[in-house]
Chains A and B, each alone.
Chain A
Amino acid sequence: MYVFSIIVLIGLLAAAGLFLFTIVKLLWNAVKIPEKKPGLKLQLGRRIYLVIRNVFLQAKLFKDLGGGIMHALMFWGFIAFAAYSSDFLLSAIFPGFHLISGTLERVAFFTVDIFAMVVLLDVIHAVIRRWGIKIKRYQGYNGFEAWFILSLIAILMTTYFILAVLRLDHISQNIPGSIGESLVPMNTPISYALASVLPKISVSAGYYVYWTAFWIHALDFMIFLAYIPTSKHLHLFAAPFNVLFAKEDQAILKPIDFEKETRFGATDVRDFNWKDYFDFYACTECGRCTANCPANLTGKTLSPRDIIWDIRETLMAQGNEYRTKGGDRDQIFKTVIGDPIKEEDLWSCTTCMACVEQCPVMIDHVSKIVDMRRSLVLNQGKAPREVIDLTRNIEQYGSPYAIDPSTRADWAEGLDVVDLTKTPDAQYDVLYWVGCVASFDKRNQEVAKSIVKILKKADVKFAILGSKEKCTGDPARRTGNEYLADMMIKENVETLKANRVQKVITGCAHCFNSLKNEYKDFGIELEVHHHTEYINKLISDKKLNVKSIDSDTLEKYTYHDPCYVGRYNKTYEEPRDVVKTFALNYEEMEMNKSKALCCGAGGGRLWMEEKEGTMISHKRIEQADNVGASTVVTACPYCMTMLDDARKTTGREEKMKIQDVSELIASRIE
């Protein structure tokens, strides 16, 4: 063993020690601070799949193609180099030792050689993206860290090439203690090309060049290792685990046990669980969430990235204090709401899930935002005026509207619909869950009537609950009033059970998501279909015959994805299939499917005023106008209300209509 071997060994141990020390601190936080549990299920198969897909194949990164390519190349290069550098350092410590040999080594070297150049070019690509074309989402975030880490990577690649060229030129073979085995040109094509163009140097000059490059390479590696967990590059460690631990149902809310729990929602870092901590650790501040947030896109200060990062910073500071000084938890863990997270920002969220959808490392922003709303509402009774009114109405009338609940089914008068309030013993196969908006809002009653017409035409034996139907609790839930939501859900579950309901169809995206994904936590398993899905099935089963009408040649259609149908339930194609049964001119908007822009109404925002920035619905209607749509098709009463209003207030009343999928079908089946 040489002296330098010992120095490398000591350096490496120190760097690894620093790395582990920071990681242990972070894990200590995640074990000691949280007072809540994530309740994860094992689901090993799904988790392996997720890691392969979202870590090794970098699948979610490609939702932003430019950034995705940049990152994926860097990531694959990183894996190749982690192997190379480990081998390099080991053979420096134990001369002559190699992790791999033979064909495997040759393949590895070939890969590393190619990736060294790819990564070097990719570093330039990254520099251009951040400082050249100045991509918006990077601006103002961690410029130094990015610069530092990119420099480390570039230096690592450059020194690799220097060392490889020296080996190809048979110089390092003459340097005592060097890693000097010959390289085969065909295994290291890029280095070989470089060697052929670079001027040859003498062995004595080579001696200095070799050791300079060697030490820079080794030191770079060590700095990298020690630096990772203290910066945004902690994601190198945390993101794979965060993907591994990811919840199956992101953004789906979990009930509160009011009998047992005493801390409602999330007030400070104690109220997030260890899985949430991994969310905070995994955040890289890439800003894809914020770049796709409808509130942020329309000039509001809400930024999902800042929400996550602010909690992370708070956690790091308070965790540090608690770890080093200990003491009264109530004193150390101060609320994150108000400072650094603004209350208005929490209320700006439409719970559209665009942030969650875009996040490459599978952070769940939405449930954290709702948890903080829960803290405000349940612990302090704090909410915007309109939310308090909404709450009162749901409490008093069982719907967001202050309208006599006994008139709930008035829209169905004369339509000969089986109403289980009036005829509780009636036989039926499917329950049509109407929802509050379609029951009470004039424009949306037209949708309810269309759905009835379609179901009747297709001979579906269906019934409605009439005035026994109550708000599903979704608006209360998303505005943080879990207590009220809990009451509504339990009441509805009783009603559904009493009426022996098994199969449900609904025209409301929010009711759909609640009944399908959230009611099972309250003891009822239902087969729930969104009306677009159901209508699509009726058409493909030939139960409905859709005819084109004269205006079809003139109309230009586009489809607006409701968030709770699309992102929440991955129903993207069925509504489009239905529209395409008759639409001759169809064009997608700029933001569609998983990237669709919200209408601005989710998360209880339908009942709140949008005071900050511009209206989300106006932005959406502009996008529809940009493709020249004369009919915007949608499939949710919230979207209908917002877009119909936007159409009128932006002066597009003459040239544009908003129609529900069901209305378009209802007018084409006779």
Chain B
Amino acid sequence: MVDIVVLIKQMPDLEQVKPDPTTGEPQLKNVPLKLENLSENSVEEAVRLKEKYGGKVTAVIFGNEQSSAIMKKAYAMGADEGYIITGFKGNNPSLTAKVLGEKIKALKHDIVILGNQSADSISGLLGGKIASYLGIPLLGNANSIEVDGSTVKVKRALEENNQVIQANFPVVVSVTQEINEPRLPPVMQIMQAGRKPINTEAATITGREVRIISNKAPKSERKKIIFEDVDKGIAEVAKVLKEEMR
């Protein structure tokens, strides 16, 4: 039996974010939120571990009023219980870790699973921060997780070597995209997920936040060179590229 807390991040669908033509700032208004990719892998892994070893999967989203659709998706995939923590809009991994850490403390947690970094802020700090806040080990960048009794064994692919590390319950495990292929939930589960209650709690912690001063799409001036004389071939293209690189 393994009790798992899985942390879910919601983020705007980047495919649908467009920079404002004048300011270059991303226009986030009306952009639908989605279950962040690595969070989907995290839920999948949590559910797979539950299916293999038994236990319970509790999902926690650090979110807002719009998060229930995402929680339903996690339910459909197999999460048993869910909490949405609202009221904190700040951007500071330390505070996020504190808010989530407090919640995790209140839940049974043999393993806390989360993505190793989110696709929007890409700080990669949260796993470490939460582990340190809870005072438990972090098994980072896992591409497979095995449980033996109360030992969690994790495989991680590093740049030059494959490492296997392990620690006893409770642990934080951050996962990579390679760990699994998220499932397509069966319809019965999707329908049951719609009826399952979602717990919403307001965060009580406030603090300093990291403020985004500017977030602009890099300007790229295209030269629009067209090579019409095909016979000159790649040599001509290479020549132009070389000149441009100087």
Bound: A481/B18 CA distance, A: 31
Contact B187–A483 (Cβ < 8 Å): yes
The distance from the CB of B117 to the nearest CB of chain A, in whole angstroms, is 21
Q: Whose C-beta in chain B lies nearest to the C-beta of A482? A: B187
Q: Which among B15, B34, B183, B184 has the highest number of chain A CB atoms within 10 Å?
A: B184
Q: Which among A377, A385, A396, A405 has the highest number of chain B CB atoms within 10 Å?
A: A396
The distance from the CB of B98 to the nearest CB of chain A, in whole angstroms, is 32
B164 contacts the other chain (CB 8 A): no
Of A397, A402, A483, which contacts B190 at CB under 8 A? A483
Give residues of chain A (547-569) contacting chain B, Cβ–Cβ below 8 Å: none
Contact A381–B188 (Cβ < 8 Å): no
A378 contacts the other chain (CB 8 A): yes
Contact B13–A379 (Cβ < 8 Å): no
Contact B191–A258 (Cβ < 8 Å): yes
Q: Which among A377, A379, A381, A406 has the highest number of chain B CB atoms within 10 Å?
A: A381
Contact A406–B16 (Cβ < 8 Å): yes
Contact B181–A381 (Cβ < 8 Å): no
Range of interface residues on A (Cβ < 8 Å): 20 to 34
Of B15, B32, B184, B186, which contacts A403 at CB under 8 A? B15
Cβ contacts A356-384/B at 8 Å (1 or 0 each): 00000000000000000000011111110
Contact A380–B186 (Cβ < 8 Å): yes
B24 contacts the other chain (CB 8 A): no
Contact A378–B191 (Cβ < 8 Å): no
Contact A388–B187 (Cβ < 8 Å): no
Contact B34–A396 (Cβ < 8 Å): yes
The distance from the CB of A1 to the nearest CB of chain B, in whole angstroms, is 67
Residues of B within 8 A of A377 (CB): 184
Give residues of chain A (13-28) contacting chain B, Cβ–Cβ below 8 Å: none
B185 contacts the other chain (CB 8 A): yes
Of A258, A378, A391, which contacts B186 at CB under 8 A? A378
A347 contacts the other chain (CB 8 A): no
The distance from the CB of B180 to the nearest CB of chain A, in whole angstroms, is 12
Contact B15–A379 (Cβ < 8 Å): no
The distance from the CB of B70 to the nearest CB of chain A, in whole angstroms, is 12
Of A378, A383, A402, A481, which contacts B15 at CB under 8 A? A402
Contact B16–A388 (Cβ < 8 Å): no
The distance from the CB of A81 to the nearest CB of chain B, in whole angstroms, is 53
Contact B34–A381 (Cβ < 8 Å): no
Contact B13–A264 (Cβ < 8 Å): no
Contact B18–A385 (Cβ < 8 Å): no
Residues of B within 8 A of A481 (CB): 184
Q: Whose C-beta in chain A lies nearest to the C-beta of B31? A: A404
Residues of A within 8 A of B34 (CB): 396
Residues of B within 8 A of A385 (CB): 181
Contact B187–A379 (Cβ < 8 Å): yes
Residues of B within 8 A of A391 (CB): 184
Q: Whose C-beta in chain A lies nearest to the C-beta of B34? A: A396
Residues of A within 8 A of B185 (CB): 381
B side interface size, CB within 8 A: 15
Bound: A391/B18 CA distance, A: 24
The distance from the CB of A201 to the nearest CB of chain B, in whole angstroms, is 76
Contact A379–B186 (Cβ < 8 Å): yes
Contact B16–A264 (Cβ < 8 Å): no
Contact A381–B186 (Cβ < 8 Å): yes
Give residues of chain B (11-29) contacting chain A, Cβ–Cβ below 8 Å: 13, 15-16, 18
Bound: A6/B201 CA distance, A: 90
The distance from the CB of A653 to the nearest CB of chain B, in whole angstroms, is 14
Of A381, A396, A406, which contacts B183 at CB under 8 A? A381
Residues of A within 8 A of B183 (CB): 381
The distance from the CB of B78 to the nearest CB of chain A, in whole angstroms, is 10
Q: Whose C-beta in chain A lies nearest to the C-beta of B17? A: A404
Of A378, A382, A397, A406, which contacts B187 at CB under 8 A? A378
Bound: A258/B191 CA distance, A: 9
Residues of A within 8 A of B13 (CB): 396
Q: Whose C-beta in chain A lies nearest to the C-beta of B13? A: A396
The distance from the CB of A391 to the nearest CB of chain B, in whole angstroms, is 6
Of B184, B187, B188, B191, which contacts A383 at CB under 8 A? B184
Q: Whose C-beta in chain A lies nearest to the C-beta of B30? A: A406
Bound: A391/B190 CA distance, A: 14
Residues of B within 8 A of A388 (CB): 181, 184
Contact A405–B186 (Cβ < 8 Å): no
Q: Whose C-beta in chain B lies nearest to the C-beta of A483? A: B187
Residues of B within 8 A of A258 (CB): 187, 191
Residues of B within 8 A of A396 (CB): 13, 15, 32, 34
Give residues of chain B (171-201) contacting chain A, Cβ–Cβ below 8 Å: 181, 183-188, 190-191
The distance from the CB of B32 to the nearest CB of chain A, in whole angstroms, is 8
Q: Whose C-beta in chain A lies nearest to the C-beta of B191? A: A258
Bound: A406/B191 CA distance, A: 29
Bound: A15/B118 CA distance, A: 75
Bound: A377/B183 CA distance, A: 10
Residues of A within 8 A of B15 (CB): 396-397, 402-404
Give residues of chain A (383-397) contacting chain B, Cβ–Cβ below 8 Å: 383, 385, 388, 391, 396-397
Residues of A within 8 A of B16 (CB): 397, 404-406
Cβ contacts B188-217/A at 8 Å (1 or 0 each): 101100000000000000000000000000
Bound: A380/B186 CA distance, A: 5
Q: Whose C-beta in chain B lies nearest to the C-beta of A261? A: B187
Contact A379–B188 (Cβ < 8 Å): yes
The distance from the CB of A28 to the nearest CB of chain B, in whole angstroms, is 31
Bound: A378/B185 CA distance, A: 8
Bound: A383/B187 CA distance, A: 13
The distance from the CB of A118 to the nearest CB of chain B, in whole angstroms, is 56
Contact A381–B191 (Cβ < 8 Å): no
Bound: A380/B78 CA distance, A: 12
Q: Whose C-beta in chain A lies nearest to the C-beta of B186? A: A381
Q: Whose C-beta in chain A lies nearest to the C-beta of B76? A: A381
Q: Whose C-beta in chain A lies nearest to the C-beta of B185? A: A381
Contact B184–A264 (Cβ < 8 Å): no
Bound: A264/B188 CA distance, A: 9
Cβ contacts A300-322/B at 8 Å (1 or 0 each): 00000000000000000000000
Contact A404–B187 (Cβ < 8 Å): no
Cβ contacts B26-59/A at 8 Å (1 or 0 each): 0000001010000000000000000000000000
Contact B18–A381 (Cβ < 8 Å): no
Residues of B within 8 A of A383 (CB): 184
The distance from the CB of A429 to the nearest CB of chain B, in whole angstroms, is 32
Bound: A481/B190 CA distance, A: 13
Q: Whose C-beta in chain B lies nearest to the C-beta of A256? A: B187
Residues of A within 8 A of B190 (CB): 483
Residues of B within 8 A of A378 (CB): 186-187
Contact B181–A404 (Cβ < 8 Å): no
The 8 A-B pairs of least Cβ separation, nearest first, read A381-B184, A378-B187, A404-B16, A483-B187, A381-B186, A381-B183, A388-B184, A379-B186
Q: Which residues of B contact A (CB under 8 A)?
A: 13, 15-16, 18, 32, 34, 181, 183-188, 190-191
What are 19 A-B residue pairs whose CB atoms fall within 8 Å in the complex? A262-B188, A264-B188, A378-B186, A378-B187, A379-B186, A381-B183, A381-B184, A381-B186, A383-B184, A388-B181, A388-B184, A396-B15, A396-B32, A397-B15, A397-B16, A403-B15, A404-B15, A406-B16, A483-B187
Q: Which residues of A contact B (CB under 8 A)?
A: 258, 262, 264, 377-383, 385, 388, 391, 396-397, 402-406, 481, 483
A sample of 12 more A-B contacts (CB under 8 A), given A381-B186, A397-B16, A405-B16, is: A258-B187, A380-B186, A382-B184, A388-B181, A388-B184, A391-B184, A396-B13, A396-B34, A397-B15, A406-B16, A481-B184, A483-B187
